[in-house]
Structure 1
Amino acid sequence: MATDMFFGAQPVLFEQAKQLREAMTPAELLLWEQLRQNKLDGFRFKAQHPIAYFIADFYCHKARLIIEVDGGVHDVPEQIEYDKNRTYLLNELGLTVIRFRNASILTDINQVLTTIRSYLS
């Protein structure tokens, strides 16, 4: 099992991750404001973080936790299947993946943070 925080991600993913950080959605920006600079109980999160073949919306290496922020595109059957397979592969690396809908973040950020904290403890 890889112990580095990138799990062998290729250089092209780092450039794509940079582009994604520059184009974060309103929900991602709101959540990032709560996670950045170790604000959530001292845990360090990275935004748009390359892991293996994927880019996680947010990643905490210490907790081995990935947070995904999902919009409407994640309701399409093909995307549902892709997300399911992606989560399986990330779980195989020993990582936990949790998902939040954009609307949940935008309307009840405190509940989202409470849920995230439950995975950190």
Structure 2
Amino acid sequence: MRGADESKTERARHLRAALTDAEGKLWYRLRARRLSGYKFVRQEPIGPYTVDFICREARLIIEVDGGQHANSLRDVVRDKWLTDRNYRILRFWNNDVSSNLVGVLETIFTALAETPPHPDR
């Protein structure tokens, strides 16, 4: 199984180095606890998936998607797998992050203020 873990880590490293403009813009605001002291990490492997951003403490995943994700069955399956493990997921389109960053941050802040699900449920 070690080879699979190394592959996930390498993929995450590659994705961290290749952020989209929208991901980079959001990451600048999320990193270093800029959002009310919550810590986010980027391109984090969780099970068979890699999420764009996650606040582990709040079990909140943030995804920033381009048009290729519209009506994606793969995303539906992925989201179900993650929510079955008590993660919450917020998805934003690239253009939302680019044109309405304040609104995106307000939505994230509101989600952070909500009580996260207990990991054992």
Question: TM-score by structure 2 length?
Answer: 0.88
Deviation (angstroms), 1:14: 1.0
1:116 aligns with 2:111: no
Instruction: Name the counterpart of 1:4.
Output: none
The amino acid of 2:58's aligned partner reads A
The amino acid of 1:22's aligned partner reads A
1:85 aligns with 2:77: yes
5+ residue gaps, structure 1 = 1-8
5+ residue gaps, structure 2 = 114-121
How many residue pairs were aligned? 110
Question: TM-score by structure 1 length?
Answer: 0.88
Deviation (angstroms), 1:71: 0.2
Displaced runs of 4+ in structure 1, greater than 6 A?
A: none
Instruction: Name the counterpart of 1:69.
Output: 64
* Distance in 1 of aligned mates of 2:63 and 2:5: 20
Deviation (angstroms), 1:10: 2.4
Larger RCO: 1 or 2 (CA < 8 Å, sep 6+): 1
Instruction: Name the counterpart of 1:18.
Output: 13
**Residue-by-residue CA offset, 1:50-81 (whole Å, 9 max, x unaligned):** 11110000010000000000101112x4xx11
Partner SS state of residue 100, structure 1: strand
